[in-house]
């Protein structure tokens, strides 16, 4: 950017201007620029010189609409000092990146990208050099090696077999010589008794296994396997401890002690911790194997005061495990494996499965002996009914209780309760026959009882139903209180009865509501309306009266023509347009013939001022009278019933949406598109069809068609499928408009009817 | 590329205000705004410096925005 010097020059010029100016950013007055121009022109007379500074100045001025504000370095520094900023760094030479640590441009020196070709090339070169080196090595090795041929050549040996035999013989001879020498030496030793001395020395210093007799080893014998050397050391003991059984010298192996301790800890932890640990305690080291609690070799379950096992059992366990060394060779006891122990235990507890030696086929028929047994059984059976045979006396309490239960029932309701006999409940029967273990007998007995009860009760119930109920209510209640155990209570709830009762309540409630409504309406309405409402209220009362049963009956049954008309109106058979009389504007009768006062303003059609000049609130939109305007006296009580009904071109009454559509079409001058109109027409058609639909027939008029077809055919049936159906194809269709609109499927099936 | 010691930035408000500011690349935008305010006469917190739709934030230095010598910035007011 070459604005360094020129800008400073211009800035100096502007400096002068700036001092005179205030801080407002006003565009410079033309005078100074012209003065500068004049200066320029005065300084150099030639046009070119004039043009250049002008051009330079103009350049800047032309770049923007106003002047380019710029300060010199000194001014900038002053400003910066005022603002509290560092002064500008002015270095003519480019500053080192090192001088400004942390600058974004100097932080990143992009490393050149790794060229893949270079990498490949270097890799190849490396490989080749490596291969070459290896080859060289191999060659050198080979040169260093001496083959068989080389050997023999160097030492000038014979390659013959004879030479080899000689060599082997020499070896033998040497061996013999060695043996001889050994013998001679031994004799010498024997002469001088040196060997004996040496042996004695050795013998005296060595401990034999006999010396170790009586020492305890604090590990179980199982752990010492054959062929394994284990180093045992004396266990630490107090100096003054006596050499009793309890505190005898014990040998321990350090590693084994650690293992045992670890196993103990794990076992203790397993007891305290989760079941997982307990399960896996056996997997860790010898914790499982060491356990001698369970015969089967598994871990023992939690025992009483299991928490203190670690304290109590520690010593005893260790003592149990220890064994004493005997003199000589101590053989490790043949340790039975856990599996073997388990097998022994299982075998001890097993049961022989031999069973009866003879196996016979079971016979289908009873043998003589079995028959005799069955006979014995039969005799026992008779005992039961004997004791419980019903007598006439037993029936007495039954009669009273039955009547009592009848009394408690409500009038006119069905009795669905299971009849109970007071004297004998089912439980009692069962209790009285403990001797017989046969359940089937008991069930049979129960069934018989129930059947007897039902019979007896049925015989008694029917004639007594109606009269008994009212009279014996209180008496029976007293009798009841005397206390016969009866399972059923007095009130019986039946779904049907409840429903009917609820219906009655509902209907009463409805009538109450209707009456209240009618009253409210009567209170509020005016005299004229009250009359009409009374009439409707009367009708409502009639309705309410009908609703007692919850059903809407025909009005023609009750009430007179008024009610019938009301019904008709309700059902929509009548148009209610002529129902109300207009109390208004006297359109009917004598009042309609009277002259009506009409106000009309005399307006001149050509007088613009009169038309549009005076616009007061009365003339606005309405065109009222000149003086005071009063309300219509006739219309004081006028409340118009506005019903805006719109019809379309065909005369159909339109709903709001359709009416609006019609209006907008007329307004905009265009209707809907093809599809929309089709849709609309379709809808209209469907509506008409609905209207023309008969209640006795389907929309397609299937029944009618069927009837017509049958007449034509002269038969009472129609073939829908098969060859006969194909024969009776439609010849000519009469009504085509229905065909086109509805389901094709339907059509196909009914084609035969046409 | 080593940064020059001092850079000169042109700030243009398209309504007739064009200012050339000398500053260090290590100055923040806030400092630049203060310098502009001193020269144009507005308040520095009313100034918004933009380049197209990028609004320059006050706490970031010019060299971080990679605003070099001779660049044009747009001056708006908030």
Q: What's the pLDDT band for A332 if we cut at 50, 70, 90?
A: low
Residue A348 neighbours by CB under 8 Å, 6+ apart = none
Q: Decide which of A278 and A192 is more confident.
A: A192
Q: What angle do CA A231, A234, A237 make, to 5 degrees?
A: 160
Q: Kindly report the CA angle at A463 between A462 and A467, in degrees rounded to 5? A: 110
Average pLDDT over residues B7-24: 90
- Tell if the CB–CB gap between A76 and B35 is shorter than 8 Å: yes
Judged against a pLDDT cut of 60, whether residue A317 lies above it is answered with yes
Q: What is the arithmetic mean of pLDDT over A633-655?
A: 83
CA distances from A472 to A403, A405, A461, A490 (A): 8, 10, 15, 13
A278: left (phi over 0), alpha (psi -120 to 50) or beta: alpha
pLDDT of residue A621: 58
Other beta carbons within 10 angstroms of residue A62's beta carbon come to 9
CA distance B18 to chain A (A): 5
How many other C-beta atoms are found inside a 10 Å radius of the C-beta of residue A710?
14
- What average pLDDT does this structure show over A683-698? 82
- Residue A417 confidence class, pLDDT cut points 50, 70, 90: very low
Q: Nearest C-alpha of chain A: how many angstroms from B1?
A: 7
DSSP one-letter code for A118: H
A86–B24: do the CB atoms touch at under 8 Å? yes
pLDDT band at A735 (very low <50, low <70, confident <90, very high): very low
The share of chain A scoring above pLDDT 90, in percent, equals: 10
Cβ neighbours of B63 in A, within 8 Å: 103-105
pLDDT digits (tens, 9 = 90+) for A276-291: 655 665 555 444 444 4
Task: Choose the mutation target among A14, A59, A68, A78 for the interface with B, i.e. most B CBs under 10 Å.
Answer: A68
Q: Over the stretch A205-241, which tens digit does the pLDDT of each residue have?
A: 677 777 777 788 888 888 888 888 889 898 888 888 7
- Check pLDDT > 90 for residue A204: no
B26 is a domain residue: yes
Task: Tell me the nearest-neighbour CA distance from A684 into chain B, angstroms.
Answer: 59
Q: What's the domain range around B23?
A: 7-77
**DSSP-assigned states of every residue in A100-111:** STT-HHHH--PP
Supply B53's token pair.
Answer: 């739709």
- Residue A647 banded pLDDT, cuts 50, 70, 90: confident
Answer yes or no: do A103 and B5 touch at CB < 8 A.
no
| Beta-strand runs (E) in chain B | 7-13, 17-23, 47-51, 54-55, 72-77
pLDDT tens across A84-121, in order?
888 888 775 554 545 555 555 566 777 888 899 999 99
Between A237 and A55, residue with greater pLDDT:
A237
In terms of average pLDDT, the best of A169-183, A385-399, A463-477 is: A169-183
Residues 43-72 of A with CB under 8 A from B: 63-71
**8 Å CB contact of B2 and A79:** no
| pLDDT above 60 for A405 | no
Residues in chain B: 78
pLDDT at residue A45 is higher than 60: no
pLDDT of residue A418 exceeding 50, the answer is no
* Residue A555 predicted with pLDDT over 80: no
Put simply, the answer to whether B2 touches A24 (Cβ < 8 Å) is no
- Which chain A residues are Cβ-neighbours of B20 within 8 angstroms? 3, 7, 68-71
Q: How confident is the model at residue A124 (pLDDT cuts 50, 70, 90)?
A: very high
Residue B1, domain member (yes or no): no
Q: What is the mean pLDDT of residues A332-353?
A: 77
DSSP assignment of A231-245 equals: --EEPP--TT---SS
Let me know: does A699 contact A693? Beta carbons within 8 Å.
yes
Structural contact between residues A540 and A558, judged by C-beta atoms closer than 8 angstroms:
no
Residue with the larger pLDDT of the pair A619 and A292: A619
Structure confidence by residue, pLDDT tens digits, B20-40: 999 999 999 999 999 999 888
- Could B2 and A97 be called an inter-chain contact, meaning their C-beta atoms sit closer than 8 Å? yes
Which of B2, B15, B18 lies closest to A96 in CB terms?
Answer: B2
Task: Report pLDDT for B43.
Answer: 92
Candidates A58, A63, A72; CA nearest to A13 is: A72
CA neighbours within 13 Å on the CB side: how many for A49? 9
CB distance B31–A24 less than 8 Å? no
Cβ distance of A63 and B18 shorter than 8 Å: yes
Q: Answer yes or no: do A89 and B5 touch at CB < 8 A.
A: yes
pLDDT confidence band for A521 (50 / 70 / 90): low
| B58 occurs within a structural domain | yes
Which chain B residues touch A6 with a CB distance below 8 Å? Answer: none
pLDDT at residue A546, rounded to an integer: 47
Whether the CB of A671 is below 8 Å from some CB of chain B: the reply is: no
* pLDDT for residue A587: 58
In whole angstroms, give the CA distance from residue B51 to residue B72: 8
3-state secondary structure of A701: coil
Would strands A653-654 and B7-13 be described as parallel, antiparallel, or unpaired? unpaired
- The answer to whether A96 contacts B4, with C-beta atoms less than 8 Å apart, is no
Q: For residue range A125-156, what is the model confidence (pLDDT) as tens digits?
A: 999 999 999 999 999 998 888 776 665 555 55
Q: Does B31 sit within 8 Å of A100, measured CB to CB?
A: no
Q: Per CB distance under 8 Å, which residues of B are interface residues toward A?
A: 1-6, 8, 10, 12, 15-27, 31, 34-35, 38-41, 61, 63-64, 66, 69-70
CA distance B14 to chain A (A): 8
Q: Which residue has the tokens 């604090």?
A: A218
pLDDT band, residue A461 (cuts 50/70/90): low
Residue B14's contacts (CB-CB under 8 Å, 6 or more residues apart) are B74
Higher pLDDT, residue A353 or A460: A353
- B6, B16, B21: residue with CB nearest A90: B6
Q: What is the ipTM of this complex?
A: 0.89
Average pLDDT of every residue of chain A: 70
- Whether residues B4 and A94 touch (CB distance < 8 A) is answered with yes
- pLDDT value of position A315: 64
| Distance between CA atoms of residues A75 and B64, nearest Å | 26
Lowest mean pLDDT among A314-323, A471-480, A526-535, A638-647: A471-480
Cβ pairs bridging A and B (under 8 Å)? 103
Q: Is residue A27 less than 8 Å (CB to CB) from chain B?
A: yes
Q: Is residue B40 part of a domain?
A: yes
Q: Which residue of A has its CA nearest to B63?
A: A104
Does residue A77 register a pLDDT over 70? yes
Average pLDDT over residues A288-299: 50
Q: Average pLDDT in the A681-696 region?
A: 84
C-alpha closest to that of A270 among A285, A259, A257, A281: A281
The CATH number of residue B52's host domain is: 3.10.20.90
- On whether residue B41 sits in a domain, the answer given is yes
- CA atoms of B66 and A693, how far apart (whole Å): 85
pLDDT at A452 over 80: yes
Is A25 near chain B, with CB under 8 Å? yes
Q: What's the domain count of chain B?
A: 1
Position with higher pLDDT, A32 vs A706: A706
Closest CA to A452 of A495, A498, A394: A394
Q: Which of B14, B28, B38, B67 to mutate to test the interface with A (most CBs of A within 10 A)?
A: B38
Q: Kindly report, residue by residue over A386-398, the tens digit of the pLDDT.
A: 556 677 777 776 6
In a domain, B15, yes or no: yes
Q: How far is B73 from chain A (nearest CA, A)?
A: 14
Out of B6, B18, B69, name the one closest to residue A68 (CB): B18
- DSSP tally for chain B: helices H, then strands E: 1, 5
Q: Is A296 on the interface with B (CB under 8 A)?
A: no
Q: Quick one: pLDDT at residue A380?
A: 57
Is B63 within 8 Å of A27 when comparing Cβ atoms? no
Question: Phi, psi (5° rounding) for residue B61?
Answer: -80, 165
In this structure, what is the dihedral angle of CA atoms A7, A9, A11, A14, given to the nearest 10 degrees?
-140
Q: Which of A35-49, A296-310, A593-607, A674-688 has the highest mean pLDDT?
A: A674-688
B38:A68 CB<8 A: no
Question: Does residue A403 or residue A412 have the better pLDDT?
Answer: A403
With beta carbons under 8 A apart, name residues in chain A contacting B67.
Answer: none
pLDDT at position A304 = 72
A 229-288 near B (Cβ less than 8 A): none
Q: Which of A70, A73, A103 sits opposite B63 (nearest CB)?
A: A103
- Mean pLDDT value of segment A59-66: 41
Q: How far is residue A202's CA from residue A182's CA, in Å, rounded to a whole number?
A: 21
Q: Which residues of chain A lie closer than 8 angstroms to B21, CB-CB? A: 70-71, 76
- In angstroms, the CA B58 to CA A33 distance is 36
A246: pLDDT strictly greater than 90: no
- CA A429 – CA A444 distance, rounded (Å): 11
Which of B16, B20, B41 shows the shortest C-beta gap to A66? Answer: B16
Encode pLDDT of A573-601 as tens digits. 777 655 455 544 455 667 667 777 776 76
Nearest to A64 among B12, B22, B38 (CB): B12
- Judge whether B24 lies within some domain: yes
Q: Where are the beta strands (DSSP E) in A294-452?
A: 323-324
Nearest chain B residue to A60, by CA: B18
Q: What does the CA dihedral A176, A179, A180, A182 come to, rounded to 10 degrees?
A: 160
pLDDT reported for residue A177: 94
* Residue with the two structure tokens 């144009």: B40
Which chain A residue has the Cα nearest residue B14? A64
**Residue in A with minimal Cα distance to B34:** A83
The reply to whether B23 falls in a domain is yes
Contact B34/A88, CB-based, under 8 Å? Answer: no
């Amino acid at each position: 950017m070459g604005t360094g010097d020129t800008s400073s020059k211009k800035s100096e010029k502007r400096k002068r201007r700036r001092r005179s100016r205030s801080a407002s950013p006003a565009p410079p007055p033309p005078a100074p620029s012209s003065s500068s121009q004049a200066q320029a022109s005065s300084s150099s007379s030639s046009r070119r010189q004039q043009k250049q500074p002008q051009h330079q100045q103009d350049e800047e001025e032309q770049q923007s609409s106003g002047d380019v504000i710029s300060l010199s370095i000194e001014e900038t520094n002053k400003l910066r000092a005022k603002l509290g900023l560092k002064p500008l760094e002015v270095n003519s030479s480019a500053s080192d990146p090192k001088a400004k640590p942390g600058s974004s441009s100097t932080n990143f020196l992009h490393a050149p990208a790794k060229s893949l070709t270079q990498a490949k090339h270097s890799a190849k070169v490396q490989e080749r050099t490596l291969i070459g080196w290896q080859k060289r090595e191999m060659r050198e090795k080979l040169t260093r090696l001496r083959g068989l041929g080389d050997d023999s050549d160097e030492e000038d040996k014979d390659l013959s077999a004879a030479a080899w035999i000689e060599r082997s013989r020499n070896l033998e001879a040497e061996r013999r010589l060695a043996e001889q020498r050994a013998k001679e030496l031994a004799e010498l030793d024997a002469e001088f008794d040196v060997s004996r001395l040496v042996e004695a020395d050795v013998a005296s210093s060595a401990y034999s296994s006999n010396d170790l007799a009586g020492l305890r080893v604090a590990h179980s014998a199982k752990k010492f396997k054959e062929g394994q050397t284990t180093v045992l050391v004396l266990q630490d003991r107090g100096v003054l401890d006596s050499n009793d059984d309890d505190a005898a010298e014990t040998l321990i192996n350090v590693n084994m002690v650690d293992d045992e301790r670890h196993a103990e800890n794990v076992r203790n932890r397993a007891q305290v911790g989760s079941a997982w640990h307990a399960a896996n305690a056996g997997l860790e080291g010898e914790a499982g194997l060491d356990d001698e609690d369970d015969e089967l070799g598994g871990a023992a379950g939690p025992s009483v005061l299991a928490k203190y096992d670690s304290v109590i059992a520690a010593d005893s366990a260790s003592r149990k495990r220890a064994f004493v060394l005997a003199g000589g060779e101590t053989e490790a006891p043949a340790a039975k494996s856990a599996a073997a122990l388990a097998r022994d235990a299982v075998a001890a507890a097993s049961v022989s499965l031999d069973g009866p030696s003879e196996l016979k086929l079971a016979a289908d028929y009873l043998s003589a002996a079995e028959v005799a047994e069955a006979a014995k059984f039969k005799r026992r059976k008779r005992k039961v009914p004997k004791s419980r045979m019903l007598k006439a006396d037993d029936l007495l309490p039954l009669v009273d209780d039955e009547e009592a239960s009848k009394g408690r029932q409500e009038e006119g309701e069905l009795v669905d309760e299971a009849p109970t006999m007071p004297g004998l409940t089912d439980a009692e029967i069962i209790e009285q026959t403990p001797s017989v273990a046969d359940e089937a007998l008991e069930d049979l007995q129960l069934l018989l009882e129930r059947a007897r009860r039902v019979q007896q009760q049925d015989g008694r119930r029917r004639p007594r139903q109606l009269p008994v109920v009212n009279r014996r209510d209180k008496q029976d209640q007293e009798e009841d209180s005397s206390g016969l155990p009866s399972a059923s209570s007095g009130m019986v709830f039946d779904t049907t009865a409840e429903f009917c009762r609820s219906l009655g309540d509902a209907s009463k409630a409805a009538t109450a509501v209707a009456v209240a409504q009618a009253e409210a309406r009567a209170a509020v309405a005016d005299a004229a309306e009250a009359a009409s409402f009374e009439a409707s209220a009367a009708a409502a009362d009639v309705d309410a009266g009908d609703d007692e049963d919850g059903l809407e009956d025909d009005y023609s049954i009750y009430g007179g023509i008024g009610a019938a008309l009301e019904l008709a109106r309700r059902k929509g058979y009548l148009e209610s347009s002529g129902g109300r009389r207009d109390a208004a504007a006297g359109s009917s009768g004598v009042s309609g013939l009277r002259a009506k006062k009409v106000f009309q303003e005399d307006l001149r059609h050509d007088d613009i001022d009169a038309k549009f000049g005076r616009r007061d609130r009365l003339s606005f939109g309405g065109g009222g009278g000149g003086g005071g305007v009063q309300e219509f006296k006739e219309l004081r009580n006028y409340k118009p019933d506005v019903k805006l009904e719109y019809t379309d071109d065909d005369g159909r009454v339109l709903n709001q949406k359709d009416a609006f559509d019609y209006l907008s079409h007329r307004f905009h001058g265009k209707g809907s598109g093809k599809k929309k109109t089709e849709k609309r027409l379709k809808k209209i058609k469907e509506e008409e069809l609905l209207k023309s639909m008969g209640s006795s027939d389907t929309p397609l008029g299937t029944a009618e068609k069927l009837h017509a077809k049958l007449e034509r055919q002269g038969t009472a049936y129609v073939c829908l499928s098969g060859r006969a159906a194909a024969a009776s194809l439609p010849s000519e269709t009469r009504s085509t408009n229905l065909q086109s609109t509805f389901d094709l499927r339907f059509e196909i099936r009914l084609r035969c009817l046409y | 590329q080593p940064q020059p010691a001092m850079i000169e930035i042109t700030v243009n408000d398209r309504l007739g205000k064009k200012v050339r500011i000398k500053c260090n690349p290590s100055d923040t935008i806030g400092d630049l705004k203060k310098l502009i305010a001193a020269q144009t006469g507005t308040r520095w917190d009313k100034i918004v410096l933009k380049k197209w739709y990028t609004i320059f934030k006050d706490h970031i230095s010019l060299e971080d925005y990679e605003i070099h010598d001779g660049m044009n910035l747009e001056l708006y007011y908030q």
